[in-house]
Amino acid sequence: MTTLLEPGARVFVAGHRGLAGSAIARALADEGHEVLTRTRTDLDLRDAAATEAFLRDARPDAVVLAAATVGGIMANHRFPVPFLEDNLRIQLSVIAGAHAADVDRLLFLGSSCIYPKHAPQPISEEALLTGPLEPTNEAYALAKIAGVAQVRAYRRQFGRRWIAAMPTNLYGPGDNFDPETSHVLPALIRRFHDAKEAGSPEVTLWGTGTPRREFLHSADLAAACVLLLGAYDDDMPVNVGCGEDLTIAALAEAVAGAVGFTGRIAWDTAKPDGTPRKLLDVTRLNALGFAPRVPLARGIRETYEWWLHARPPARAGTSEYMAAYMAQ
């Protein structure tokens, strides 16, 4: 079978310390590829000249652009500037640098949040740019849309075999559990754990609990990305998800059970819900032979157990980074 990523290829994974990037780096290494990485101390991906110089010198066969400034609904709502500007700078630097270094394969990780707020469900790739975005994460979504457009532009103008993937909500070992900037699933784990430890009788969560979300384990995302690098070459981005969703209220109950919190769950309905539903149509990905392997209940338990043992400090680029922007 012909593959677009040769055995033993050298792949630069930008963002290898993040949830998605670390899982992709592990999956590539497991497949026998040589994984190249750089920490933020070694290389600031917002620096276009330094990024191009690194890529010209390293000459990778492929680049996975998983680096991004990310966060949950509260962080997106309060700090739109870094979510817009940092992601634009990172994308421009890495993608233009990859072209300058004549990199044959590039996979850009977008996000399911780039689709219109009221897109028909499940959301197909064709829904991109067909309606207004969710206001609470508009800045991040616009940056990711620009990344998709940049990949398409290089394909059309220069014939690059570059592709984009649109992951659904991710979780798993290596996630960000920072109280201010984490996504919903790790945020719930942290909230329920802290409440259990404190003996709190109640946890109050944002919104109504009625929005529906889809969740994919980072290991399943990584498997999908390796598959796409080897088998997909098209202008259209590819949705990466499991094809099933549940309400935030149901997710909260599942997380509380996994953590062992037995108190009451209350909802602050004055806070925003975000997009009512966000379920991806994964027909394109499934046609390539992909099927997720980690059930949500098991994945939540494993993620909680990982966090209990690892307890990593908040990553640079989260609370400290937002504080720096607030000080400007």
Q: Which two tokens stand for residue 202?
A: 């109640």
Tokens of 241: 């998800």
Q: Which of helix, strand or coil describes residue 41? A: coil
Q: 270: exposed, middle or buried (C-beta count within 10 Å: 0-12, 13-18, 19+)?
A: exposed
Is-contact 87 144, C-beta < 8 A? yes
> Which secondary-structure segment (H or E) carries 62?
strand 62-65
Q: Which residues are annotated as a binding site for substrate?
A: 191, 206, 213, 273
- DSSP class of residue 40 equals T
CA distance 24 to 233: 19
**Which of the following is catalytic: 115, 140, 171, 232?**
140
The yes-or-no answer on residue 140 being catalytic is yes
Which residues fall in the annotated binding site for NADP(+)?
15-21, 109-112, 144, 167-170, 183
Within 8 A by CB and 6+ apart from 103, the residues are: 55, 60, 61, 62, 63
Task: State the binding site.
Answer: 15-21, 109-112, 144, 167-170, 183, 191, 206, 213, 273
Residues noted as catalytic: 140
